[in-house]
Structure 1
Amino acid sequence: MLHYTMRRILAMIPVLFIVSVIVFMIVHLTPGNPAFLILGEDSSPEAVEQLEQQLGLDQPKVIQYFDWLKNIFIGDLGQSIYSEESVTQIISERIGPTFSLMIISILLTLIIAIPIAIFIVWKRNTFLDPLFLSGSLLGTSIPEFWLALLLVLGFGVSIPIFPVAGYIPLTDGFLSWIHHLLLPSIVLAAVEVGLIARMLRDSMLESVNQDYTKTARGKGVKERKVLMKHVFSNALIPTTTVVGVTIAGLLGGTVIIETIFTIPGIGQLLIDSIHRRDYPVIQGVILFIAFIYVLINLLVDLLYAFLDPRIRYD
């Protein structure tokens, strides 16, 4: 297990390197001059050129990239062009709202998706099964921004139950914290519930008529216990893969949701930085998201060995 873990950690390095190259090229080849945006439309070409020299934007792109890459290896993602703060510090200040939103969203998803999938497998030969398939397809097809605006209009304006903007830290009170995050979390969870429930249902159906389940029924074990003890446990590995991808994908989903609900997280930071052409922050945020994505995939692979003792990586 240790050797496999070390190999996977080393394999993350080329992945992050490729991501860094792509991100740098996209950011620096996009039209727009940060120096011009900082100084304004009335700025003179001489002032813009002088600011470009101060920011290092007059250097060749190759030199700019390797300077940035060199700093990454010592844990320095650079400084924001606008605030002159450390990019690492800026990201650390925005992690809390984003991770809070992700945690609540994935908990809501699992609390809803797992019981639904088990119930549908239990009632697999009834009209509920095709109804579930239609509902799961509809749920995964709904655009997040449209559902978010619909819920804001319904439960933030027409029936003002939830706040539609802002964020309250957990340190200021659990109820206030979850009250502000529940509505955007429902939006993120609604899109993922159908996918995870469908995957779990399909995986359970593959095991429901296997020989070991027939043997358990032949011994007089009740159907409910067969589903929970034998079928559900064997369906965890493929479902865990989908859950891992979902958790990683939530980082991308929060970009839209945080903007709509004005949550000061990583997603809104990325959007604001793109508008300002704040190159170091854009590069740092995307690289951080890529790192979290590959890290979650690694943790999911390692989790397989705990879910199924037959799996041995060494």
Structure 2
Amino acid sequence: MIRLILRRLLLALPLVFAVSVLTFVLVALTPGDPAVSILGSNATKEQYAELDHRLGFDQPVWTQYWHWLTKALHGDLGTSLLSSQSVTSQLNGRIGATLSLVVGATLLTALLGIALGLMGAVRGGAVGRGTDLVAMLGFAIPNFWLGLVLADLFALRAGWLPATGYVPFGQSPSRWLESLILPVAALAAAGVTGVAKQTRDSLRDALSQGYVDALRADGVPERTIVLRHALKNAAIPVVTMLGTFFVSLLGGTILVENVFAIQGLGSLAVGSTTEHDLPVIQGVALYFCLGVVVVNLLVDLVYGWLNPKARIS
């Protein structure tokens, strides 16, 4: 298992490097001048040129990237061009909100999706058809639109939950949970239906295998066959889907964070892109890339637990 972890981490290094290069180049080539955002539109051309020179934006892109990479390897992601704050401190101050949304939506997706898929596979009939119908609706409804609907129904009209904002867990656990319910539900809707359908189909396939008939012939209870044997064998495609869903949420939080006015990495990325704040954009991309690496590693570890043969692949 340790060899598997080391191999995956080594393979992740080129990915992190490629993402950092691509992000830097694309942002650097995007029309716009950070000096205009900092000095405003009334400054002179000489003032813009002087600031660009001081910030290093008049240098070739590869030279700028090399300077950034050298500092990043020493743990310094630079300073925001607009706020003059450390990029690392800005990201660390917002990552809690984004992780709460992403992890919460993934857990809700896993619990509800697997439960619904299990019911659909075991009972079939109307439950199975209902899962298909809900899956189609879940995929068709945009999460930001669903977030607006949920906020209108449960916050503005009913007054049960807050419509906007995020409360850190350390400040108030109960208010933290309340602030997450609506955005997590909006993010998880499509994932729940997709995981439910994948679980149902994979479990049906597992229950049709010969070893299941042998277990039934030996008198093993149906509950044990489904939960202990068939579900474990059907779990690998479900785990793959959950990992993919987690990664997609890193981008999906951008819209939901703006709908619910949550100060997370997504909203920071939008604001920084608008203002052409390259160090912050580069930092957000790096954090998201590291999140993808960690999730892929966790998925591989779960593979190894479910199927020992995967540990040597």
State the secondary structure of the residue aligned to 2:312.
coil
State the secondary structure of the residue aligned to 1:164.
coil
Q: After the TM superposition, which residues 55-134 of structure 1 pair with which residues of structure 2 at under 5 Å, given as runs?
A: 55-124=55-124, 126-134=125-133
Deviations 1:227-266 (A, max 9, x none): 1122111111221111112222221111111111111111
CA distance in 1, matches of 2:176, 2:130: 35
8 Å CA contact 1:122, 1:224 repeated in 2 = no
Task: Report the counterpart of residue 21 of structure 1 in structure 2.
Answer: 21
CA distance in 2, matches of 1:199, 1:184: 24
Task: Report the counterpart of residue 302 of structure 1 in structure 2.
Answer: 301
Residue 30 (structure 1) aligned with residue 30 (structure 2): yes
Post-superposition shift, 1:51?
1.2
Task: Report the counterpart of residue 283 of structure 2 in structure 1.
Answer: 284
Post-superposition shift, 1:297?
0.5
8 Å CA contact 1:167, 1:264 repeated in 2 = yes
8 Å CA contact 1:139, 1:194 repeated in 2 = yes
State the TM-score, normalized to the length of structure 1.
Answer: 0.95
CA distance in 1, matches of 2:311, 2:264: 38
8 Å CA contact 2:167, 2:176 repeated in 1 = yes
Q: After the TM superposition, which residues 138-177 of structure 1 pair with which residues of structure 2 at under 5 Å, given as runs?
A: 138-177=137-176
Question: What letter matches 2:236 in structure 1?
Answer: I
CA distance in 2, matches of 1:196, 1:72: 37
Post-superposition shift, 1:29?
1.0
CA distance in 2, matches of 1:132, 1:284: 40
- Where structure 2 has 5 or more consecutive residues not aligned to the other structure, the ranges are none
State the TM-score, normalized to the length of structure 2.
Answer: 0.96
8 Å CA contact 1:196, 1:242 repeated in 2 = yes
How many pairs were matched up? Answer: 313
Task: Report the counterpart of residue 268 of structure 1 in structure 2.
Answer: 267
Post-superposition shift, 1:93?
1.0
Q: After the TM superposition, which residues 31-50 of structure 1 pair with which residues of structure 2 at under 5 Å, given as runs?
A: 31-50=31-50
8 Å CA contact 2:135, 2:193 repeated in 1 = yes
CA distance in 1, matches of 2:61, 2:215: 66
- Where structure 1 has 5 or more consecutive residues not aligned to the other structure, the ranges are none
Percent identity of equivalent pairs: 39
Task: Report the counterpart of residue 203 of structure 1 in structure 2.
Answer: 202
CA RMSD of superposed structures (Å): 1.5
Task: Report the counterpart of residue 190 of structure 1 in structure 2.
Answer: 189
8 Å CA contact 2:304, 2:310 repeated in 1 = yes
8 Å CA contact 1:248, 1:296 repeated in 2 = yes
State the secondary structure of the residue aligned to 1:205.
helix
8 Å CA contact 2:195, 2:241 repeated in 1 = yes
Question: What letter matches 1:9 in structure 2?
Answer: L
Post-superposition shift, 1:45?
0.9
